Structure formats: C-alpha cells, structure tokens
Homo-oligomer: A and B are copies of this chain.
C-alpha cells in the first residue's frame, strides 16, 4: 500500500497540472489553478517543478489577445519533445503506422501496402525506424490481424484457422528500436475497445466477420483476453452448418467460400451466398456468446458482417435468450482502438515520469 508521504501530495498536484495541460493544450498558471481546483501558489510551485524536469515549457505566448485588461499571463504547455506513441496496424494488405502525441493528435501517418504477408517481417522495422528517427517515441501499440499470445506478444497460428499476417514477433522487432513498452494485440480486441468507447456499454460482444473470423468479449468495461490471449478465437466453435453441427470456419469451407490456396474467407464470393445459411451459423455463435458472456448487445463488424445484420437479427430472434444486435459504428476500428490505448498509456507514462 502507498505510504502517506508529502511527496505523494506533490505528485498528485503535478498529475493534476499535467492532465489539465494534456486536455487544454495551453494554460496560464491562473487558468491551471481554476481547472485543477488547486490554489495559485500550489500551481506555481508545480509548474516550476515540471518546467525544471523538462515536461512542461513556457510557450512564450502571452495572454492579451483581446482577452481584456490586467497583467499579461504566460501560457504553459507540454514540452515540445515530450514524446509520442507509435501505433501500428498490421493487416494482410499492408502496414499502417501513426504517431499520437499526448494531446491525442495524430502527428504522422504512413501506409505501406504489402503484396505478400511474408513482406511484413521486412517492412515492419523500416516503418518503425522511420518514425523513431523523427520523433521521441515512448511506447508502441500494435494491432495484428491474427491471434496474439498474451504473454509474449507473438502472433500464433491456431490449427486450421485463417492465418493472415503470419509468423511474427513484433516485440522482438520493435522493442530494440524504442525505449518503451511494445503492446501487441489482436485487431479484433482493439476494435472492440474502440467500439466500447463509442457505445459506452460495459458488457458486450464484438463479432468481427471479415477474411478472418474473430470475436472479442468486453466485460465490466474491459476487453477480456483470457489466459493466452486467445479468447474469442471462434473459428472452431461448433455451430449450425449446412449439414449439421460444424466448426464455424468449416461452414465457409462447406459453402466453398474460402479462398483457394490461402486460409482466408473469400469475401467477394461470400456476398453471393445465401444469407440465411450464414446467419444460422452466426446465430449459433451468438447463442454461445450470450450463454457464456451475457452481453448487453452484440456488435457486428468486419467487412461483410454488417451487411447481414437483418438476417442475423432474424436468426437471433429465434434464440431462447434475446439480445440486441447492432452494426459496428467506428471507422477503421482496430487502428482507432490501438490509438486510444496508446494515448492513454502515453499520458500515464508521462504522468509517472514526473514522479
């Protein structure tokens, strides 16, 4: 447990000041006093400390810009070089990299198309190196379109499931390039996190129906990843197929909807398939989700999932327990979720750095 030291109070004051600057970008000491609720002398002291430690800087800007009379005040903000977070999304068709600063602004963005998943291992370090050279990167979040081992951060292949990105150890590749932690997670988990922020619902399930099949369970406001991080890898869940009980992924095989030579689902051809048969299989998955996770709502995402929303709803209406089914609402959800988490981690990292 925490010790009751005076230093604790100081660090709480500093955290108040830093978080205010993160959300308001620039403030005078007087403004800081009102937004934080601290007294003016306390704020002045805190600002003095933070400037000295290099986290905060005088912007040089002064108040009177039509703001009225009175003495001029000095605007303070986070230091220029305070650092950013790197956000990387690895999909079969390419790698997207972004930098977020502590204000939540995206300060850089690149996309590298990839023809073959095998290129990922080669392209990834160069993408990262480019960003690291230009910014003070303090941490990194990675979204990958494959199951991620929770402890190692490695991409893992589950038997007979689509394996889109392929063998990769992002922590080993990226870790040495920057000085902070590298957090890797499955794209569906990140997407669910983004959807959670948008929906404001504490308990829901996210069904991701794309080239790969995924699912994330959000319980008590957090994505629950399970022991190895493989919670929600639903390819092998037994559900209703055209010929009886079948693993979910096999339903697509039986319908001839998997791309030959790869493990992925053929999304183009899928659009011509019978929605009722697909919805029946999806309904079986929803039923298992409702039974085991009891979501308030099931969110359907992925490139082709939402197009079946009506059929899925009809199917779910026949289930013994009712649940709301809605379409995902966040654009590029995986990147959004990874970015939000990166921002959050960056901010706490900075606050902790002031201690």
* Closest chain B CB from A305 CB (angstroms): 17
- A159 to B322 alpha-carbon distance, docked (Å): 12
Nearest chain B residue, comparing its CB with the CB of A12: B4
The answer to whether B226 touches A295, judged by C-beta atoms less than 8 angstroms apart, is: yes
Nearest chain B residue, comparing its CB with the CB of A233: B291
Count copies of this chain in the complex.
2
Interface size band for A: 35 or more
Q: Does A187 contact B (CB under 8 A)?
A: no
* Closest chain B CB from A65 CB (angstroms): 30
Q: Which of A1-54 contact B (CB under 8 A)?
A: 1-6, 8-10, 12-13, 15-16, 19, 37-38, 42
Q: Does A273 contact B (CB under 8 A)?
A: no
With A4-B12, A292-B231 already in contact, the answer to whether A238 and B236 are too (CB < 8 A) is no
Q: Which of A216-241 contact B (CB under 8 A)?
A: 217, 219-220, 222, 224-234, 236-238, 240
- A225 to B284 alpha-carbon distance, docked (Å): 21
Chain A 223-261, CB-CB to B under 8 Å as 1, else 0, gives: 011111111111011101000110000000000000000
Which residues of chain B are within 8 angstroms of A287 by Cβ–Cβ distance?
236-238
Q: In the complex, which of the residues B4, B159, B229, B292 contacts A237, with contact meaning CB atoms closer than 8 Å?
A: B292
Q: Does A167 contact B (CB under 8 A)?
A: no
19 additional contacts, CB 8 Å, given A220-B222, A227-B296, A232-B291?
A: A1-B12, A1-B16, A3-B12, A4-B9, A4-B38, A8-B8, A8-B9, A8-B12, A215-B292, A217-B293, A219-B225, A224-B293, A225-B294, A227-B294, A231-B292, A232-B294, A236-B320, A237-B291, A292-B293
